[in-house]
Amino acid sequence: MRPCLIVKVGSTMPDLAARRGDYEDWIAAGLDGVTVDVCRVREGDALPSPDGLRAIVVTGSSALVTDREDWSERTGRWLVEALDQGTPMLAICYGHQLLADALGGTVGVNPRGREIGAVDVDLAPEATADPLFEGLPTRLRVSSSHRQSVLRLPDGARRLASNAATANQAYAIGERAWGVQFHPEWDHEVITAYLEARREILREEGLDPEALLSAVRPSTDGATILERFARLI
């Protein structure tokens, strides 16, 4: 069976990875029953031909799309090629931004500042007919951590979710590709670890880490999105 390729463009914090695994492990667990391969593009792995893949999932990263690193630009062009071939795709956080950028959208510093923690995301009316989101509650509780965001969607993209902090929380391209700014693979323990590790940075930026920590609670909404994608592919 053709694999789902996890395109690894970043890693979690080393101490968290030692305890819980890394992005690709959490994504693979969420795609339970789907055969996966991992391509570590930042480490020099070559991206395969998309026509041999069942689907693609792009991870998050602490890198910035606007830095235009060679590995990132190369990956963006490859995503467009895969999209043209009709390969199903789920692009997460950095991946969400990279796909939008590669298709002609605009990525930059989020005008409302860093968004981090357990956040509420509101589905757009169009999401009710979208195969990845249909039937879900109109408000989802998910985990998020980003400084940049998609400021302008590429032509033809359909906005599927937003909130007060980030206008483009999710979008669809065609019928088989999605970008989500949040992390569906992160559970409440993962986002708690991020908030605790960045406590001082958050204070310096005028955020309240204690309030953000107190807002964290278990939610299955992210896991449900990964399960939906697994079924769709």
Give catalytic residues, as residue numbers: 93, 183, 185
CA atoms within 13 A on the CB side of 4: 27
Of 181, 200, 214, 184, residue with least CA distance to 97: 181
Distance, C-alpha 36 to centroid of its chain: 17
Place of tokens 């769709």: 232
Tokens of 43: 């480490």
Instruction: For strands 177-180 and 89-92, give the pairing.
Output: parallel
End-to-end CA distance of the chain: 12
- What residues form DSSP beta bridges with 177? 89, 173
Burial of 218 (0-12, 13-18, 19+ CB in 10 A): exposed
CB 143 within 8 A of CB 183: yes
Of 80, 86, 76, 142, residue with least CA distance to 107: 76
- What residues form DSSP beta bridges with 172? 158, 178
Using DSSP, state whether 225 is helix, strand or coil: helix
Using DSSP, state whether 222 is helix, strand or coil: helix
